[in-house]
Each structure stands twice: as C-alpha cells, then as structure tokens.
Structure 1
Amino acid sequence: MGGTSSLPYVSVIIAVRDEEVYIGNLLESLSKQNYPVEKIQFIFVDDGSTDNTYNIVYEKIATDNRFNLIKAGEPSKFFSPKKWALNKGIKIADGEVLIMTDGDCTMEENWVRYMAEFFMKKEIGMVLGSSPLGLSRSIWDRALRMDSIGLDALMMSTLIAKLPFTASGRNLAVRKIAFDEIGGYDSIGQFTSGDDDLLMHAISKSNWRIVPCLKKGSQVESPAPKGWAEFFWQRIRFSSKGKAYFQLDFVNSSFRLGLIFIFVVNLMVFLSQLFFLIYKDFFYLLPWLIKIFSDYLLINVYLSKTKESLDLPFFLFNEVWHALYVTVFGLIGPFFPVYWKGRKSKTDLSNNAY
C-alpha cells in the first residue's frame, strides 16, 4: 500500500431505501475502513424509506463524524429516484474521488483504500470493483454467485482490452472532475438503472482511463435475490437499457457490436441445446461445449487475479441454463416495465416515467 499523505480525499455515496435488514452490516463495514479519518466521509441519502433505515443511520452519525445523512426528496421528472438520490449526495460531497455502493453491501476493511489508491495516478477517471452476489452456501446462492462472478470476469477482460463492457453500482469509484466533465447523470438520469454502466460508457468516451480493481479484499458482497421473482425483476432491470445502448451517442460502436455478438452466440447455443433434445445428435452440442470451455478459461483467469477458486459444480449448472436466460432477458428486458424498491417505471425511454 502507498503512504497516506498522497491518498485522495474520498466521499462514499450510498443511496438507501428500505434497507433496515442489511444497513447495520454496511455501517459496521464502513466504520472499520482502514483510511485516514481526515480524508474520508460517508454520505447516506435516504430515498424515501418506509421502514427504520433512516433512524438506524441517524443514530450512527451521532457517534461518528465521518457519517452524514440527508433525504433525497421528490425526484425531478428527468431523473430516476436512485440517480436523483445519488446526485443529491454528490452535490454535498467534499471528496475528489466518489465511491458508490449499495445499502445491502458489506466489504473488508481495506476496500476504500484499494479503490482510492488508483487515483494517485492522474489519468485514472474510474475504477470498477468486483461485486459478487450470494452470501450463504445454499444451492441458490452458490449458483447466483457464480453467475455474478461471470459478469465480473467480463468486466475485467473487457477493461484490459480497453473496451469497457459492464460495471456494478455496488462497487465503483469515479474522479469527481471526470464526473463533472461529462455532466454527471444529466444525460442518463431518466433510466431506472445505469448509474453504473451508462456512467462508465460516458466516462469511457472521454480521455480518462478506466481500470479494474482486482486486489483480494477489494470486492463488495451483497445478498442474492430472494427467489425467482426477485431474480426475474432484477434481470429485467439490468437488461432494461438494451435499446438505449443503440440510441445514446456516447456509447461506443464496438461495444454495440460486442453486445450483438454475445446475444447471437447465446441464441445459437440455446438453439443447439434445443436441437440436441429434438434430434438426439451430439453434433448439436458443439456450440455449447465451445461456450463452456471459453467461459471456463475466462472465469479462471479472473479468479486467479482475485485469489479465489472456481465452484465447478455450480459453474457447470449455470452453463445449462445461461444461454437461455441471456437470450430471453435480452429480448424482453427493453420492453418490460421496471419494478424496483416498490416503484414502477413505464419505460426507460421516457422522461415522464416517474
């Protein structure tokens, strides 16, 4: 680790809504951060919680002056509620580096330090960290954890190739100057999601570098969706920006081609699985076997960097249905209403959706 004198001032921004079950764990994780107290602040923005979230955080700020709490208020019609809340926090942030996470997350004590150290290099505009889902050893959690690790592996590989592809709002950092230069969330405010990957695409269009943080201890963990219904609506939210990728002018054309390629590959794999079931000819499994091998190599390279091991049974289990769910959600996501935290949006392409 570098010396503390050159570390940047950091503002950790957390938009929270109805997180009373998990917020205590996050507060404990943040309290233990190994970072100079004079160079860090935690800003919680309550996004209209209907439970005890606000009061739990309020009790914390009375005992630790690094913590701040404000209310988001009613969002503008040009902003989705979460981006409105994050924007409120960013406006009062003193840090030269903004780190975002969610109210149900936990992290190790060096998380902030590992993310912030990258910004000692002046060309770095954004840092993306790992954010696996699933905290238990249940079948459900192990399957979804491997699925989220696959997304993190995609994040790492595409950043190395200098073609940023995905990001997670549970674990990202951005230089405030870079955030301001692109106009913050102004061009993406209406989208229900996208405080992570759409922001990444906007930063990528500028001259700032985006890098992954793969140090052991830098990842952020959070619970997996509770059952199929939560999983369905989470994936609808993730895929709801599908049409926007082809409409926003700052999205790289190479990314668009890559997105089409991934969809077509998964469609072909799904059809090959279907044809195998119909015709019982192992030849049809060849595309699927190629995908399994490619995914295995990609994820193993990623896990070698993060010093973790592959959960092989659940990797193979996910490969059975992965192509189907990528194809289905890729097709329907942009056209479904998005439900999140008790709110519904009619469409991500309308400024009047909220």
Structure 2
Amino acid sequence: MIWFLIFIFTCYSILIISLSIGFHKVDEFKTEKKIEINSFSVIIPFRNEAKNLPHLLTSISKINYSNNLVEFILVDDDSTDNSVEIINRFIENYEVGYNQKNIFKVLKNNRTSNSPKKDAITTAIVIAKNDWIVTTDADCILPINWLKKLDSFIQEKEPKMVVAPVNYNVENIFLEQFQLLDFMSMQGTTIGGFGINFPFLCNGANFTYKKEAFLKLNGFAGNNSIASGDDIFLLEKFIKSDKKSVLYLKSDEAIVTTFPVKSWTDLLNQRTRWAAKSSNFSSFKVKLIGLLVLLVNFLVIYYLFLGSLAMLFIPFVLKMIVDLFLFLPTIKFFKIKSSFYKWYVFASLLYPFFSILVVFKSIFFKYNWKGRRFKK
C-alpha cells in the first residue's frame, strides 16, 4: 500500500506543480483599446432569483460600454417569485446608463431538453442580434469594465471563445470560506490548464464565444440530455474544432463575482450537479485527472482511519502542502484576504470527505437544484 501511496502522490504533485507553472505562464492582460468594436449579447438565465437580481441589475447599470454595442437578454426559466417584475421595474425606471428599452429583452424559456439552462441560452441565441454571446448568471455582480476588457482582448487576440475568471463574495464563516477554497482550486486549475496548453475547465458565469461559431458547431447538440454542462461541453466542442482559438482572459477587471450557497445541503446538491457531468467528458486525460484527485482524497481518508499511527496524518499534510503551490498564486491574483490561512487547515481536512460524498451521490442518487430534481 505504501508504494501505491507514493506513486499516486507523486503523480498528484506533478499535476499540481505543472498547473502552478501553467498559471504563471498565462500573462495578465493589461491592454486597453480606446475604440470599442465588438458587439455583445449578454445572456442571463434566471429562475426564482428575486433576492439576487437587484445586485445584478445594479452592476449592469454601471457597466462602461457603448449602448449600441450591447444587449442584455434575460431568460425566465419558469420563475414562481417576482423575478420578472423586478427586471421590468428596473427597465422602466432606470434614468441613467442603459436606459434604452431595446437594450433589454426578457424571454420565457423554450424547454426542449433535459437541460433548462442550455434551453434558456439557446432560446436567447436564436434572437440575439450581436456577434458575440456572453453568458453569466443571475446571482452575479458584473465588473464595470467587463465588456470593455473583453472587447480589448478580442481585438488583440482574435479568439472564437474566451474563458474568464469568477470569484466568490464570502463572509468570514466556515461554510462560505470552505466554498471559496474549493472554488479557488477550480479557478487555479482552469488558468493553469490554459498555461500548459491543456484547457479543460471553464465557468458559465463568465463565458464568451462567437455566435457564428456556436451555430456552426450545432450548439449544445449531443449533450443536451445532461442537465448541467452548458459551459464544459461547449468548451470541448470549440477545442476540438480549433484549440488555438480558445483563450483565457486573465484580468482583475474581468472578474465576475458570485455568491456561495447558504447551507451544506445546497452545497452538496450544487457540487453533485457539477460532478454529475464528469463521466461524460470526451477527454480521457480529463477523466484520468478526476480519478487521480479521487484516489488522493480516498488515501487521505484511508490513512486517517486505517493507517498506522506513524502514517496517520502524512497523506493529509502532503496534500495540504502540495495544494499550496497552486493555491498561493491563485489567491494572490483574486486578492483573497488573509483569512484564507485561518480556514485552510480545517477546509483541507474536510475536503476529502466532502469530495468522496459528492462523487458517491453523483453516481447513485438524484439531486435537487432550484426546485427541480435531476438524475445523472
């Protein structure tokens, strides 16, 4: 067993250090083009987001970009609260910023598959008038220079798809700090993957692609039976079609902020939803990475309960140290406050148990999300 432990942790260390090197290879984008050229259709699906929509809409009102080059398409996915009323009131009452009603469209989702979010995005793309599709979520806050930075990046790099950063707005309590650390590991892995020329993660809360390319690749066709994955599976399609045209925008002015869930049950359901799509990844290497991470977490738990006294905490400490190679540059880029260190040990100890539970639940059980029940 000890040789298996050494082998797995050696592979894991190589992976994390490689991603850390890749993270540093992705340069921060500083260019600011004076003339705005690209037109964006920002698509925002929503379902019962009355609590979050005021934050989103306020941030939209502050976005610094030409009115004639942007539209916001909000797609109602069968909300039962007053979300639509909040949006309509915002459109009618706003006197500054995006005050032209034709900039905003509110649609009803046209459900045609097992994936409500993919249906919502497709519903919006059908009527989107601009060259670039940008997706985000209704529980997000958008930075003021978000579209301006995207425009500059597209002008200079000429991509067909842009993956960009997402951060959490958290309070100093363990549940939210745990989510932040888990999310930072995914963000660091996303950036690191691009840096080693092996992009395999993205986040639909900050995701941009050419409408023409989306239609040419038949959008979500082939994976719309899977409830989640409106981002990952589309990323795979674009990479398979033209890998060099898929780029990462590493800029603190392009960071979209979202909020953590407020209960452990919701967190488990959310992460189960994310994990449920992993078996459908087309890349064998990505599946191998997932298996490696799973084995590392399993070994941490195994030695905590069944290992010898001398080996009790060694796998846990090793993993915690190795993870810092990627965590440290990630939290520096995202400007995470020093409370990170306060929670890191406790979160690292809980994470192996949590991740194994998520995998188990994603394989054998259905999950609830936004008032609906889904199976894998």
Is 2:134–2:209's contact at 8 Å kept on the other side of the alignment?
yes
For 1:210 and 1:284, the matched residues in 2 are separated by 43
Q: Does 1:264 align with 2:299?
A: no
Aligned partner letter, 2:152: E
Instruction: Tell me what 1:68 maps to.
Output: 105
Q: Does 1:280 align with 2:280?
A: no
Which consecutive residues of structure 2, in runs of 5 or more, have no partner in the other structure?
Answer: 1-30
Provide Cα deviations, 1:94-135, integer angstroms capped at 9, x if missing partner.
222111111111122112222343222465222222223343
Alignment counterpart, residue 343 of structure 2, candidates 309, 314, 338: 314
Instruction: Tell me what 1:31 maps to.
Output: 61
Aligned partner letter, 1:55: E
For 1:339 and 1:23, the matched residues in 2 are separated by 22
Instruction: Tell me what 1:248 maps to.
Output: none
SS at match of 1:150: helix
Instruction: Tell me what 1:332 maps to.
Output: 361
SS at match of 1:99: strand
Aligned partner letter, 2:49: E
Aligned partner letter, 2:155: M
Provide Cα deviations, 1:21-67, integer angstroms capped at 9, x if missing partner.
11011011011111121111111011111111011112233342222
Structure number with higher relative contact order (C-alpha < 8 Å, ≥ 6 residues apart): 2
Q: 1:46 to 1:146 in 2, by over 3 A?
A: same
Is 2:279–2:287's contact at 8 Å kept on the other side of the alignment?
no
Provide Cα deviations, 1:278-300, integer angstroms capped at 9, x if missing partner.
x432x343322221122111011
Alpha-carbon shift at residue 14 of structure 1 (Å): 0.2
For 1:111 and 1:151, the matched residues in 2 are separated by 21
SS at match of 1:124: coil
Provide Cα deviations, 1:132-181, integer angstroms capped at 9, x if missing partner.
33432333222221221111111111121122232222121122222223
For 1:123 and 1:116, the matched residues in 2 are separated by 10
Q: What TM-score comes out, normalization by structure 2 length?
A: 0.84
Q: Does 1:161 align with 2:196?
A: yes
Alpha-carbon shift at residue 242 of structure 1 (Å): 2.9
Alpha-carbon shift at residue 86 of structure 1 (Å): 1.2
Aligned partner letter, 1:339: N
Task: List aligned pairs for 1:1-354, cutoff 5 A.
Answer: 1-5=31-35, 7-62=37-92, 63=94, 64-65=99-100, 66-73=103-110, 75-76=111-112, 78-121=113-156, 123-208=158-243, 209-245=245-281, 251-276=282-307, 279-281=308-310, 283-309=311-337, 311-345=340-374, 347-348=375-376
SS at match of 2:79: coil
Is 2:33–2:152's contact at 8 Å kept on the other side of the alignment?
no
Q: Which moved more, 1:327-336 or 1:88-97?
A: 327-336
Alpha-carbon shift at residue 206 of structure 1 (Å): 1.5
For 2:342 and 2:248, the matched residues in 1 are separated by 27
Alpha-carbon shift at residue 308 of structure 1 (Å): 4.2
For 2:91 and 2:290, the matched residues in 1 are separated by 43
Is 1:269–1:287's contact at 8 Å kept on the other side of the alignment?
yes
Is 1:134–1:222's contact at 8 Å kept on the other side of the alignment?
yes
Alpha-carbon shift at residue 315 of structure 1 (Å): 2.0
SS at match of 1:132: strand
Q: What TM-score comes out, normalization by structure 1 length?
A: 0.88
For 1:3 and 1:241, the matched residues in 2 are separated by 38
Alpha-carbon shift at residue 4 of structure 1 (Å): 4.6
Is 1:242–1:333's contact at 8 Å kept on the other side of the alignment?
no
Q: Which moved more, 1:132-141 or 1:18-27?
A: 132-141
Is 2:166–2:206's contact at 8 Å kept on the other side of the alignment?
yes
Provide Cα deviations, 1:172-218, integer angstroms capped at 9, x if missing partner.
11222222232111122121110111221222211143222221132
SS at match of 1:98: strand
Is 2:32–2:149's contact at 8 Å kept on the other side of the alignment?
no
Is 2:44–2:137's contact at 8 Å kept on the other side of the alignment?
yes
For 2:237 and 2:85, the matched residues in 1 are separated by 35
For 1:256 and 1:301, the matched residues in 2 are separated by 25
Larger helix proportion of the pair: 2
Provide Cα deviations, 1:258-280, integer angstroms capped at 9, x if missing partner.
2222222222222222235xx43
Is 1:97–1:116's contact at 8 Å kept on the other side of the alignment?
no
Which consecutive residues of structure 1, in runs of 5 or more, have no partner in the other structure?
Answer: 246-250, 349-354
Q: 1:205 to 1:323 in 2, by over 3 A?
A: same
Is 2:77–2:108's contact at 8 Å kept on the other side of the alignment?
yes
For 2:213 and 2:287, the matched residues in 1 are separated by 23
